[in-house]
């Protein structure tokens, strides 16, 4: 009897967790801040995959370039630090400035010299509500007024910002070939969801 009660409690806890996740997702879809993100050009042969589109965002290209630059700078700083350490015999009056430089680097994504696998990309909506790239950072905050943070992660296929797939009903593929922007809903915690596709005039498809 006791084992049965524990089993049912586990099932109940699982159902509550699933329902909370669904509720949070629907809340984000209906109440999140709307922002449009430009789609990056892709190989047309890989765009349509049955009943979904394999998307790539222009801001993902910004993230790719920014992360590559950060990793290059980190490697350069690491090599410079190792060179400086090897040349020091005893105390060094310039050591404090090197430490200050290291501390400032800690604020950047991947400042521990590990490869940058994931983080947040900050965008600033323009007059048309199109999100323009600002920077990458490790957490959803801090953000300036009206800025939004969207999660990204690096995969062998490239940088994924929120999602790279858009599912649609069978037979509707032709309608979405004119897509130029993705419509996203974003909250203050850096959670985001793709809610639709738009044409070049920002009209829903």
For the chain, what is the total number of helices (H) and then of strands (E)?
4, 9
Low-confidence ranges of the chain (pLDDT < 70): 1-25, 41-52, 74, 76-79, 81-113, 164, 169
Please choose, from the candidates 118, 122, 128, 141, the residue with its C-alpha nearest in 3D space to the C-alpha of residue 183. Answer: 128
CA 196 – CA 4 distance, rounded (Å):
45
By CB neighbour count within 10 A (0-12 exposed, 13-18 middle, 19+ buried), where does 169 fall? exposed
Residues 24 and 104 in one domain: no
Residue 8 sits in which domain range? 1-31
DSSP string of 125-155? E-TTSBEEEEEEESSS----TT-EEEEEEEE
Q: Provide the pLDDT for residue 9.
A: 59
Residues 22 and 93 in one domain: no
Residue 204 lies in a domain: no
Residues 66 and 95 in one domain: yes
Residues 21 and 46 in one domain: no
Domain count for the chain: 2
Q: Provide the pLDDT for residue 54.
A: 74
């Amino acid at each position: 009897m006791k084992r049965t009660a524990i089993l049912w409690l586990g099932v109940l806890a699982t159902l509550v967790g699933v329902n909370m996740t669904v509720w949070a997702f629907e809340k984000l879809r209906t109440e999140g801040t709307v922002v449009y993100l430009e789609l990056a050009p892709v190989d047309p042969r890989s765009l349509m995959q049955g009943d979904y589109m394999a998307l790539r965002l222009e801001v993902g290209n910004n993230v790719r370039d920014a992360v590559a630059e950060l990793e290059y700078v980190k490697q350069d700083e690491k090599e410079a630090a190792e060179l400086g350490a090897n040349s020091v015999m005893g105390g060094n009056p310039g050591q404090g400035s090197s430490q200050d430089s290291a501390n400032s680097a800690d604020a950047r994504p991947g400042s521990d010299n590990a490869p940058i696998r994931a983080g947040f990309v900050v965008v600033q909506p323009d007059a048309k509500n199109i999100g323009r790239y600002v920077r990458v950072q490790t957490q959803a905050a801090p953000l300036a007024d009206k800025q939004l943070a969207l999660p990204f992660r690096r995969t062998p296929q490239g940088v994924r910002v929120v999602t790279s797939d858009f599912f649609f009903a069978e037979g509707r593929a032709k309608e979405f070939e004119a897509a130029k922007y993705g419509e996203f809903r974003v909250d203050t915690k850096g959670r985001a969801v793709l809610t639709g596709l738009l044409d070049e005039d920002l009209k829903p498809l």
